[in-house]
Structure 1
Amino acid sequence: MAQLILFAADIVAVSLLVFGLYFPRHRRRDLVVAYLGVNVGVLAVASALSVSTVGTGLGLGMALFGVLSIIRLRSTELDQHEVAYYFSALALGLLGALDTKPLWRNAVLMALILIVIYAGDHPRLFRGYRHQVVVLDSAITDHVALTAHLEQLLGARVHSASVQRIDLVEDTTVVDVRYMPGMRAAGTGQSTTTQLVGHR
């Protein structure tokens, strides 16, 4: 009976995680299936191992290895918040499978995971900060000049500018920029190409 309660708690928790938090905020349908599959798969495997002669530690280690392999071998890149949702779905599945005493401890830990994800991935948290990869059509080797140029170009205060590549032949600079909008943009006389990677 206690195991069935934990199963039900896991289903409720992962439903809140996926349909209440992840999808309304990020809208990736393919990862909805992935999170649900990881959660239910880990729940089933860990439950079976808990009543078998196979060591639970070995089983959990294999489950973690499997999830890490899936994440590493994906053809499309995952953002860090998507990896966090992966591990949250995994943790919920493990908590739903482990019949520990007292029973309410697992439920409290499930709720804690949901609360942390809700707060940490909230759209209002650090909403003024942005993250872009910018390709400049000039090779700028001086960091101070690069920062000033980016602030003028983006109309923002640059907090971090990490150069990824400088091509002196093609006269280009690729830089990873983390900034906060707020300054009035001014013309620079130079054309640029930007690619949005993510924002916080």
Structure 2
Amino acid sequence: MLNFSDPIWELIARFAINTGAMSLLVFGMYYRRYRDRELATTASMFNIFAFAVLTILSSVQFSLAAGFGLFAILALFSLRSEQIEKIEIAYFFGAIAIAVICSVLGTGLVFVLCIVSFVIAAAWALDHPNMMKSAHGAKVTLDAIDPDILSDTEKTRRLLCKRLGVDVMTFQIIELNYVNDMARINIFYRN
């Protein structure tokens, strides 16, 4: 019989919980719904790396300030990287959170398994396609700027609906370039 009080077996059990939960979150949910191989690979690798680093750090004397410093360094990566969507950030953070939950020594394995199960269940329910019917998003570049684009948002919304052939629920103007007569807009629409 396995003795989970032995540090090696406890580490193996924690790694198995971490890897299983991360795989369910990233590949079972995110990848199946969004088919983004790059983010799925990145989030899963980040999870494994974070688990390894945090396991080492939790077994030695490590201050809370140093932990916040570690996450500040991680935040700098996002500032230097290409912009990712909100849902991608949520899944990416979920993969890191699972690594943190599983790697902290001093918590019982049953407790860790319960918390990770709650995280997975919440992610599944909150991002389930039937839970909230969401709008689709798109980035649009227009080759002409309407004179009322900023002053009459309802007119702009109607023009976007007509031009794109979809029900534009809302939009966000990213850039107006009057030199080239070009507008970059993020739209949220329903078919």
Q: Where on the TM-score scale, by shorter chain, does this alignment land: which range?
A: 0.7 to 0.9
Identical-pair percentage = 23
**Alignment correspondent of 1:77:** 83
Q: Once the 2 structures are TM-superposed, how far is the Cα of residue 125 of structure 1 from its aligned partner?
A: 4.5
Check the 8 A contact 2:59/2:105 in 1, yes or no. no
Aligned to 2:72: 65
1:131-170 matches, within 5 Å, as 131-142=137-148, 143=152, 144-170=154-180
1:78 positional shift: 1.7
Q: Does 1:21 align with 2:58?
A: no
Which residue pairs with 1:43 in the alignment?
Answer: 51
User: In 2 relative to 1, CA 176–95 (structure 1 residues): closer, same or farther, beyond 3 Å?
Assistant: same
Which stretch shifts more, 44-53 or 166-175? 166-175
CA distance in 1, matches of 2:171, 2:41: 36
Change in 2 beyond 3 A, CA 1:101/1:136: closer
Gaps of 5+ in 2: none
User: Are the aligned partners of 1:163 and 1:173 in contact in 2 as well (CA < 8 Å)?
Assistant: yes
TM-score by length of 1: 0.75
- Give 1:175's match in structure 2, choosing from 159, 165, 185: 185
Amino acid at match of 2:187: V
Please tell me whether the aligned partners of residues 171 and 188 of structure 2 are also in contact (alpha carbons under 8 angstroms): yes
Match of 2:122 in 1: 116
Q: Residue 107 and residue 47 in structure 1: after superposition, are their counterparts in 2 closer, same or farther (change >3 A)?
A: same
Distance 2:37 2:134 in 1: 27
Unpaired runs of 5+ in structure 1?
182-200
Superposition deviation, residue 91 in structure 1 = 0.8
Pairwise CA RMSD of aligned residues? Answer: 2.4
Kindly tell me: are residues 174 and 47 of structure 1, through their superposed partners in 2, closer, same or farther at Cα, counting changes over 3 Å? closer
Is 1:31 matched with 2:42?
no
TM-score by length of 2: 0.78
Which structure has more strand as a fraction of its residues? 1
